[in-house]
Amino acid sequence: MNILDLFRNRPEKTVASFITLAVSAITFAMFQELKVETVGEFFNYISSESDHTKLWFTWGANLLSFALLIVVGMLWGKDVLNNNYMDEYPELGRIFSLIVGIIHISLSIIFFDYLVSDLLGIVLVCAIIFAVIYGDNSKS
């Protein structure tokens, strides 16, 4: 039983993993230097900078990488519950799928940590806007 056979038997998950890891590597290398830790810093950044694309690309790329890693990790984890008839040793395939799923979800912690620590100002502003728009609209 070769590890490449396990990847070959799961082509969609393998391609999704490579795409997700490429997006995550680019995001980690290029979009993790900005810090907006408070709401005040967010408004200072918005008012002082004329070009906000760096802020929104940083926010979007890290959110995308986090979500992709979670989804692909869960897809690999779901494979643990299914019996893949193409594997020569299904138990080894399940263990391998579990390990790859855990790796993806573990990598997502890097992006979650960056989102809730260095970009906390954006998270708070989005939460406030969400609460105002979708808050309690009942008239007492």
Range picked from 42-46, 64-68, 134-138 for highest mean pLDDT: 64-68
Lowest mean pLDDT among 28-32, 103-107, 126-130, 132-136: 132-136
What's the pLDDT tens digit per position in 82-108?
A: 877 777 888 888 888 999 999 999 999
φ, ψ for residue 120, nearest 5 deg: -65, -35
**What residue spans define the domains of the chain?**
9-133
Which residue has better confidence, 139 or 13? 13
SS3 108: helix
Q: Percentage of the chain surpassing pLDDT 90?
A: 48
The CA dihedral of 127, 132, 136, 140, to the nearest 10 degrees, is: 150
**Model confidence, pTM:** 0.85
Tokens of 14: 């393998």
User: Of 48, 71, 49, 67, which is closest to residue 59 (Cα–Cα)?
Assistant: 67
Residue whose token pair is 């954006």:
122
pLDDT above 80 (res 1): no
pLDDT above 80 (res 139): no
